[in-house]
Amino acid sequence: MTAETADTAEPADGATGPGGPGERRREQRGWYFYDFACSVYSTSVLTVFLGPYLTSVAKAAADPDGFVHPLGVPVRAGSLFAYAVSASLVLAIVLMPVVGAAADRTGRKKPLLAAAAYTGAAATTAMFFLDGHRYLLGAFLLIVANAATAVAMMLYNAYLPQIAEPDERDDVSSRGWAFGYTSGALVLVLNLILYSGHDSFGLSESEAVRICLAAAGVWWGVFTVIPLRRLRDRAAATARRDAVGAGGSGWRQLRATLADMRRHPLTLSFLLAYLVYNDGVQTVISQASVYGSEELGLGQSTLITAVLLVQVLAVAGALAMGRTARVYGAKRTILASLAVWTLILVAGYFLPAGSPVFFYVLAAAIGLVLGGSQALSRSLFSHLVPRGKEAEYFSAYEMSDRGLSWLGPLVFGLAYQLTGSYRDAIISLVVFFVVGSVLLARVPVRRAVAAAGNPVPERI
């Protein structure tokens, strides 16, 4: 090891180390702030502003038939944003296993986290220059920022089993999500003030949107300094350090990781359950605005307010579900949240058109279970990861979260195509929560934790 590594590295055997509980709490507080830093990208950029704005830029550059021609390929302007998101996920799927393997082999997650975070922040800040007909620039920056987000989150998540003792992880993970939703709501409020009052600020609508996009990148970059100052690298196991010197490649390590995961079938069983129910969660979030506008006839201001309501209540929901998990365990709490998700879809099916109040009630219910189900899924998975392989296993988790959530939108689209009803489309998503619940209920999590070689918490 270099002198710097020797000074900063910790043993690879979990959260304990010479720093003691006080130092561990300091790391945890720093860890929360990465979610605080990057969540504004997901909320203000990806969910609210970039999709409509990039589409408008592409339409301005389109030919009379409504097509743009990136690299000579005809693409309908309205599809550019979706295609760019898909391309970013493909890039993320390629990068995450390689970066995760490198992080675990070297024990140097922090430099890789810094590189991914600041690549994403820089690309997001550069969206300020997305004007006129620069749709290619917008698509490129979106691909870079979204892929960087996925890689950075994979590394960030991999710190959880190293900075928190087994009995702490539900609370620590929930607080991280709460920090993220807090910043997402705060920045969204500021952005909506600027966007709604752009005339009074002497700005055009385009300038206001570009400032909102760039401000998210600046926020991301500034607050990333806190976790980078407080998190510490852990020394890799000797065998894994030697693998680097032996010339092991990231893809060779990926094959080894997949083979290793087959030796932990209970961990894979949890990942399968998570893949199914998380696909349902992500589809509800991505299609809720379409359902609200097309089926319920609600205006853009109502939809944006609903997004803000989800962000605010997700803070309380994440913290409340974290406390509930202390009493009933993470698995039971997640199963209860999946039952609530199912009831939300049933209620959404019967929601009357043109009634924003009922839509807000549904948004509030989503907010209360959204953060908690995500936070507890992350903390539960952290118990199922063999020590020293956190980043590699969390690359598979992150791919399940971001790279493989395509089946839900497909089912939603097919249901609408076959029935012509968004109500039938939204109720079709119930299957993901029912099947996911059944698969999760069948996972013996205490045995899975022990099989991964980790201490079994009193409540899980």
What's the pTM?
Answer: 0.78
Residue with tokens 């705060």: 186
Q: Look at residue 5 in the predicted model and tell me its pLDDT.
A: 39
CA-closest candidate to residue 333, choices 269, 362, 376: 376
pLDDT for residue 115: 97
Alpha-carbon separation of residue 238 from 38, 100, 252 (angstroms): 33, 17, 18
- H or E element at residue 67: strand 67-68
φ/ψ of 67, rounded to 5, equals: -115, 145
Closest CA to 222 of 408, 36, 439: 36
pLDDT value, residue 291: 82
Q: What is the pLDDT of residue 245?
A: 40
250-273: buried (b, 16+ CB within 10 Å) or exposed (e) per residue? beebbeebeeebeebebbbbbbeb
DSSP-based three-state secondary structure for 76: strand
Rg (CA), the chain: 22
93, with CB counted inside 10 A (0-12, 13-18, 19+), is middle
How would you class 22 by CB atoms within 10 Å of its CB: exposed for 0-12, middle for 13-18, buried for 19 or more?
A: exposed
Please list the alpha-helical segments (H only) found in 107-204.
109-125, 135-158, 160-163, 169-196
The CB density around residue 169, as the number of other CB atoms within 10 Å, is 27
Nearest Cα to Cα of residue 125 among 37, 42, 218, 261: 218
pLDDT confidence of residue 233: 84
pLDDT of residue 421: 85
> How far is 405 from 399, CA to CA, in rounded Å?
9
Cβ atoms of 67 and 136 within 8 Å: the answer is: no
pLDDT at 227: 95
What is the DSSP code string of 323-382? HHHHHH-HHHHHHHHHHHHHHHHHHHHTPPTT-HHHHHHHHHHHHHHHHHHHHHHHHHHH
pLDDT for 105 equals 81
Phi-psi region of 459 (alpha: psi -120 to 50; beta: other; left: phi over 0): beta
The tens-digit pLDDT sequence of the chain (460 residues) is 333 333 344 444 444 444 567 788 899 999 999 999 999 998 889 888 888 888 889 889 899 988 888 888 888 887 788 788 878 888 888 888 888 888 888 888 999 999 999 999 999 999 999 988 899 999 999 999 999 999 999 999 989 888 988 888 888 988 988 899 899 999 989 988 898 899 999 999 999 999 999 999 999 999 999 999 999 887 765 444 444 443 345 456 556 767 777 888 999 899 899 989 998 898 888 778 778 877 888 876 787 888 889 888 888 888 899 899 989 999 999 999 999 999 999 999 999 998 899 999 999 999 999 888 988 998 999 999 888 888 878 877 877 666 556 677 778 878 887 888 889 988 999 999 999 999 999 999 999 999 988 888 888 8
What is the Cα–Cα distance from 110 to 287, expressed in whole angstroms?
Answer: 35
Of 428, 327, 310, which is closest to residue 371 (Cα–Cα)?
310
- Give residue 404's identity as a one-letter amino acid code: L
H or E element at residue 68: strand 67-68
> What are residue 76's DSSP bridge partners?
67
Contacts of 26 (CB under 8 A, 6+ apart): 19, 230
Give the span between the Cα atoms of 444 and 451, in whole angstroms: 11
User: Which of 300, 227, 219 is CA-nearest to residue 42?
Assistant: 219
Instruction: Say which residues have a Cβ less than 8 Å from residue 39's Cβ, sequence separation at least 6.
Output: 179, 180, 181, 183, 184
Tokens in use for 347? 């209620």
Separation of alpha carbons 373 and 322, rounded Å: 9
Q: Which two tokens stand for residue 325?
A: 């998990």
C-alpha to C-alpha distance for 314 and 178, rounded to whole angstroms: 7
**Sign of the CA dihedral running 37, 111, 169, 8:** negative
